[in-house]
Structure 1
Amino acid sequence: MSVATESTETFASLNPATGEVVGEHPVHGAAAVAQALERAREAAGWWRALGWKERRLRLLNVKGALTRNLNRMAEVIHQETGKPVQDAQLETIMAISHLDWAARNARKVLGPRTVYPGLMAINQRCELEYQPLGVVGVIGPWNYPIFTPTGSIAYALAAGNAVVFKPSEFTPGVGLLLAELVEGVVPEHPVLQVVTGLGPTGAALASSPDVDKIAFTGSGRTAKRVMAACAENLTPIVAECGGKDACIVDSDADLDAAADAALWGAMSNAGQTCIGVERIYVLDDVYDRFLGKITEKAKELRPGFDREAAYGPITMPGQLDVIERHIKDALAKGGKAVVGGAESVRKPYVEPVVLTDVPDDSSAVCEETFGPTITVHRVKDLDEAVEKANRTGYGLAGTIFSGSRSRAMDAARRMRSGMTSINAFAAFAQVAALPFGGVGESGFGRIHGADGLREFARPKAITRQRFATMNLTSFGRTEKEMARVLGLINMIHGRRYKR
């Protein structure tokens, strides 16, 4: 059973563009969550016992099932989020690539390995292995409802865990379809179950003593509540929260490419992207030319629900007020709207907004907007650009455009973020082998890549004595034995090192 026990209470999933009901879903309470976790515990034991080879085969077949149902999944995403079908297809393709990587690399990353013991423990055989945690709870977001949770679900399953997934109340149908596809490939035990509902459902999952780790994606405010619930049982958590990501444009950058990428990073998915571009810092000598290019491109964009629309509606109605507040605050503090303005908020859509001369203390610069707006700033040099990019509590991702490899790499390393992409927007998200996550208010822990696999496993160290030698951890040790060891340590480690 991939779906928790039915509840008498239900909630509606709505199309944010039309307001039409996409589906009715049960509100699962604490009892239903507990039942799902109990089934997951049994499933976890079976899944772990299958071994690397069998899990790999099944997960590759899950990938195949998702691929064959790509358009079906994209349509559900389109209906529940309002994003264009092609964007939903692209998101699903990225989820498929992560399923593939996790399945193919789990054994290589997490499988047993021999570790050199060092001279002092030369009589020990040392092995390191990564064991499954057991049951992982995943609390997913609505903005990328298949790609983002797959970054936890696929890696947790590949590591040998069972998963209980609570999708966003805005996109429950996406989670249910994924669970259906997994159940079709793995019918024996519910290795992936879905619980649907509102905030209390997620709270029941996070606060349960029967979950071994929580993978959460959402706002920093909600993350703190989830962490508090996890703290009751010392349940570990990996948290991917919001961002206020910056794009830096160097004086020798390809301005056409930079404007195109920055605009996509800011406006795609109606700006509802945690790694989206919200601030652009452009060096003084190319500022006017860059602003002209991005302004021209932004004016061509149109939101809507039809196939020709550049992006869709604001999925979460409450975010419209935040976006409008940020625009008005920026203008009230002396900022200028070179594209759009406060009137661009036309519920449920927000037309493109490009702001300049916005003070650094404006909410449009300091707080996550999560809408199709962007602020463009003039800076004197790359050092100032990096300094201002880092002037935030967030630290998720960033983008740098430059014609100089050395300057770009230096700036990328100095940018306070978990990920930085040079001369492209968010290329790291497409590379399954790279870890994904942030610092500061953007959260902690990593999904994707080898680090993402290890996030859902516990390291286990095992030593086995191969032959007897001096036993220093014994009350029977002699002064002679200790003197021999001290002499050996002094010979190995006591010498002076020269430059």
Structure 2
Amino acid sequence: MSPTPTPLSNSALANQSPGNAASGAGPRLTVTRPGTGEPLGSYPIATAEDVAAAVERARGAADWWAGLTFAQRGKRLDAFRGILARRFAQISKLVSEETGKPVADAAIEVATILDHIAWAARHARSVLGPRRTRSTLMSFHLSGSIEYRPLGVVGVIGPWNFPVMTPLGSIVFALAAGNAVVFKPSELTPGVGLWLGRYMAEAVPEAPVLQVLTGDGTTGDALARADIDKIAFTGSTATAKKVMAAAAERLTPMVAECGGKDAFVVDYDADLDAAAEAAAWTALSNAGQTCVGTERIYVHESVSEAFGAKLAAIVGGLRAGADDAAPIGPMTMAGQVDVVEGHLRGAVDAGARVLAGRVGAPEGQVVQPSILTGVADDAPANTEETFGPTANLMGFSEVGPLLARINATGYGLGGTVYGRARAAQIARGMRTGMVSINAALGFAMLPSVPFGGVGKSGFGRIHGPDGLREFAYAHSTVRRRLPPVLDPTTFARTAKQDELLATVVNLLHGGA
């Protein structure tokens, strides 16, 4: 039996700075617990010099790491997964402290990423390793192969809302592809970031394949401008544009997982009980601070009243609070409270009705859950990302106009459909990177599918085969295996050979 892990507090992480690549000189971040204001720790703000030094160290680590086999890298990633599993309660508690979410919700986040780590370690070779390609009649004398090689050093800028699952979706897949990583966690959750770095170093003691730099926006800007080979960013669309502009100085490619305005569709033949539970969870869990959280609920007019009653009953039994018994925690970022309240007040002032929950009078960072009806399609509550514990319930009758409304915001991250006969049709019509049918956030839980969006929700993918290839480049090799019957790549061609080429082209492609 494994020994019980020793508790590791935020103050220990902050004061000992295990795995922190920041120098520690100069200003520091002060982190407090959302909802209570309890001080959790103070962390150094990494400078541009700290970033450059970390990237230089990462270069050496990347050379060693890329030289390992897929199996050798997978073994070390599995060791990290084992540490996460054995210290499951510890990391879940730390996430809860820094984000304010209930420990049980933090545990779901940690449990889900374990599956993704296992998948990446197990499938990296089959996805990225060498494979043969097929020839055509024109290229029959040639044989080809392709493999995906590591980029080198990847920078990761992580979010605060899911400080374990989201950054590890980039970090682990980048490592599985053979890269070293320099990771800047959110300034709201630096302790979680350092925890991940500490135990990755335990799993991979030979070289600093994952370095963590605590800091603020200046640190993230320095990382985006650094001599790295790719940057993976998760956060708002507005901040993604700034990171992209900074990365453009070196033509550094980028993965951007940004916000969303996800729609949840309940069709006429849906299981209303299951749909109501899923809608409540996807809209309100994590205090609505989920990039793929439900913000708009469209219900077929034939079942709208019955569904609304079921949803209202669920939401009416929920409350937000900073205490351990509250099923919904406080908002993690204090400034987001004003955005949420502004959307709610604007909608209600314009005639929207509160179907369930309570609107107004937040207590500090605690915002009570709510469901609104009668919100205009062009209201900010329906067009801009709210990122809080609320959603708007609206009716629909025809699929065509429904899809036009869903796709009108410019966001395109995820979506959900509950129904039977038309569920697949509706899912295909949603301009999003991901859709889940009759399941809550299924695309986030299944490791074999990619995660990412389109439009204002970003570009690039993490998770699944696409997530591995995102952190590699295609390297193809073509060799001659037979003498060519007709070789067009020579100045020694004759007129007869040119005539033969024209004949072959017509035979192969003229009938198209």
TM-score range normalised by the length of the shorter chain: over 0.9
SS in 2 for 1:129: strand
Gaps of 5+ in 2: 1-17
- Given the alignment of the two structures, is residue 286 of structure 1 paired with residue 303 of structure 2, yes or no? yes
Instruction: Write the deviation string for residues 313-339 of structure 1: whole angstroms up to 9, x where unpaired.
Output: 100000000011011100111111122
Cα offset for 1:344?
4.8
How far did residue 366 of structure 1 move? 1.0
How far is the alpha carbon of 1:341 from its aligned partner? 4.1
Are 1:120 and 2:138 counterparts?
yes
Check the 8 A contact 2:184/2:213 in 1, yes or no.
yes
Alignment of 1:70 onto 2:83: no
Paired residue type of 1:393 = G
> CA shift at 1:465, angstroms?
2.0
Secondary structure at 1:419's aligned position in 2? coil
Q: Distance in 2 between matches of 1:433 and 1:332?
A: 45
- CA RMSD between the two structures: 1.3
Displacement after TM superposition at 1:355 (Å): 0.8
**Runs of 5+ in structure 1 lacking a partner?**
none
The 5-angstrom pairing of residues 393-412 of structure 1 reads 393-404=410-421, 407-412=422-427
Contact 1:110–1:130 (8 Å) recurs in 2: yes
Q: Distance in 1 between matches of 2:471 and 2:135?
A: 26
2:511 and 2:246 map into 1 onto residues whose CA distance is 52
Find the counterpart in structure 1 of residue 448 from structure 2.
Answer: 433
Matched residue, 2:479:
464
- Decide which of 24, 37, 42 is 2:42's aligned counterpart: 24
Q: Could you tell me the TM-score, scaled by structure 2's length?
A: 0.94
Tell whether 2:230 aligns with 1:213. yes
* Residue in structure 1 matched with residue 219 of structure 2 by the alignment: 201
* Partner amino acid, structure 1, of 2:251: L
Determine if the alignment matches structure 1 residue 226 to structure 2 residue 243. Answer: yes
CA offset at residue 52 of structure 1?
1.1
Task: Spell out, residue by residue over 1:17-66, the C-alpha distance to the aligned partner (whole angstroms, 9 max, x if none).
Answer: 21112121110010000000000011000000012121111111111111
Look up the match of 1:47: 65
Measure how far apart 1:266 and its partner are: 0.7
User: Is 1:368–2:382 an aligned residue pair?
Assistant: no
Distance 2:511 2:50 in 1: 64
User: How far 1:403 sits from its partner (Å)?
Assistant: 3.0
Report the Cα distance in structure 2 between the residues aligned to 1:39 and 1:156, rounded to whole angstroms. 17
Contact 2:301–2:395 under 8 Å retained in 1: yes
Matching of residue 446 in structure 1 with residue 485 in structure 2: no
For the pair 1:93 / 2:93, whether they are aligned, the reply is no
Q: Which moved more, 1:268-277 or 1:284-293?
A: 284-293
Q: Which residue of 2 aligns with 1:486?
A: 502
Q: Aligned equivalents of 2:402 and 2:311: distance in 1?
A: 18
Q: What residue identity is the alignment partner of 1:108?
A: S
Q: Which amino acid aligns with 1:140?
A: G
Map 1:177-326; keep pairs closer than 5 Å. Answer: 177-208=195-226, 210-326=227-343
Residues 354-392 of structure 1: CA deviation (Å, up to 9, x unaligned)? 111111121111111110011111222333322221121
What TM-score do the two structures reach when normalised by structure 1? 0.96
Q: Match for 2:500: what amino acid?
A: R
Q: Which amino acid aligns with 1:461?
A: S
Aligned counterparts of 2:358 and 2:345: Cα–Cα separation in 1: 8
SS at match of 2:435: strand
What residue in structure 1 maps to residue 14 of structure 2? Answer: none
Deviations 1:126-153 (A, max 9, x none): 1111010000000000000000111101
Task: Give deviations 1:185-204, integer Å, cap 9, x for gaps.
Answer: 11111000001100000000
Q: 1: distance between equivalents of 2:504 and 2:357?
A: 75
Out of 442-451 and 298-307, give the one that drifted further.
Answer: 298-307
Alpha-carbon displacement from aligned partner over 1:141-194 (angstroms, at most 9, x marks no partner): 000000011110111000000000000000011111111111001111100000
Task: Tell me: CA distance 1:310–1:5, structure 2 relative to 1, closer, same or farther (3 Å).
Answer: closer
Work out the CA distance in 2 between the residues paired with 1:347 and 1:337: 21
Contact 1:245/1:278 (8 A) holds in 2 = yes
Q: Is contact 1:2–1:190 with CA below 8 Å preserved after alignment?
A: no
Q: Which residue of 1 aligns with 2:349?
A: 332
